[in-house]
């Protein structure tokens, strides 16, 4: 099956090529790996004011699932630099 792993949220970057994987379970694992690699290189995305979403669609652009990563400050952190 062809899956498209799109970055959405604070930054939008659609997947123009897609990836061929045997099952939706494999696509779920790949989406989490994608998010991990992305955030390893660009951790500031979590704090850009909106959650980071990895949206996975099929070849018809039908949304299959979303992985969401969000940074949320606790009240004690308000006003700290």
Write out pLDDT tens, residues 19-61.
Answer: 999 999 999 999 999 999 999 999 988 888 778 999 999 999 9
Query: In the structure encoding, which two tokens stand for residue 26, read together?
Result: 């494999």
Query: In the structure encoding, which two tokens stand for residue 20, read together?
Result: 């061929």
Strands 2-9 and 19-20: antiparallel
Instruction: For residues 80 and 65, give the distance between their C-alpha atoms in angstroms, rounded to a whole number.
Output: 35
Q: How confident is the model at residue 67 (pLDDT cuts 50, 70, 90)?
A: very high
If phi > 0 it is left, if psi is from -120 to 50 it is alpha, else beta; for residue 61 that is: left
Sign of torsion over alpha carbons 75, 44, 12, 38: negative
């Amino acid at each position: 099956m062809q899956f498209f792993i799109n970055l959405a949220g604070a930054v939008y970057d659609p997947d123009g090529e897609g990836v061929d994987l045997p099952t939706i379970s494999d696509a779920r694992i790949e989406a989490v790996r994608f998010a991990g690699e992305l955030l390893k290189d660009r951790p500031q995305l979590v704090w850009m004011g909106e959650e980071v979403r990895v949206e996975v669609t099929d070849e018809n652009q039908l949304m299959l699932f979303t992985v969401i990563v969000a940074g949320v400050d606790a009240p004690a952190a308000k006003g700290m630099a």
